[in-house]
A and B are shown apart, each in its own frame.
Chain A
Amino acid sequence: QQPVQSPQAVILREGEDAVINCSSSKALYSVHWYRQKHGEAPVFLMILLKGGEQKGHEKISASFNEKKQQSSLYLTASQLSYSGTYFCGTNMDSNYQLIWGAGTKLIIKP
């Protein structure tokens, strides 16, 4: 079952914050976040495992709420380089393939 990402797109000014959500209708084992710039391959950001992890990566962090079956990606003080499409990938078990969300397009304006 494909995870649902929201919003579909967001436009920010440099320095503003953004939150991208990834929700599943089923219990999750892990959530993976990737960023893809136009014409390029997806690039790994972070993985969160069940257990309610919260991880940070410079000014990009994420949380995983098992009960809500949801993960959120937080981008603070956004930079122009954060522009791109953010995908979450989820699986229900360590043996299962990742299923990808439809992506959230983030546009950062100077």
Chain B
Amino acid sequence: EPEVTQTPSHQVTQMGQEVILRCVPISNHLYFYWYRQILGQKVEFLVSFYNNEISEKSEIFDDQFSVERPDGSNFTLKIRSTKLEDSAMYFCASRVAGWTGELFFGEGSRLTVL
């Protein structure tokens, strides 16, 4: 069964360092997302990506965040200068098309900022 894969599963970094989280969405999917979940809290939308550009982003997705789809398969989230409050689980998700379809989540990347 096709699945969304994410790497790394856990990353520990020092405050101020840059982090890149990687995702491989399901191959025929067209819409890609990054979500964040601080421990024990709700899932928060960060950004959506369609047709090689950002289609929507939340207030959380400020200038320290960026996304790329460098090679047609990987979908990356870069955090330029990490802060303590960036510590969270980051989920990548993808869907085929249209909001009548299921959103497929990856297993998540846990980011710990020290």
Contacts and interface: CB of A to CB of B under 8 A. Distances in A.
Interface of A: 29-30, 32, 34, 36, 40-44, 47, 49, 87, 89, 91, 94, 96-103
B interface: dominant SS: loop
B44 A100 contact: yes
A interface: dominant SS: strand
Interface residues of B, number: 20
Contacts of B44: 100
The 8 lowest CB-CB distance pairs between A and B, nearest first, are: A41-B105, A44-B102, A100-B43, A102-B42, A94-B99, A97-B56, A42-B105, A41-B107
Contacts of A87: 42-43
Nearest to A36: B43
Contacts of A99: 45
Instruction: Pick the most buried of B101, B102, B106, B107: most chain A CB atoms within 10 A of its CB.
Output: B102
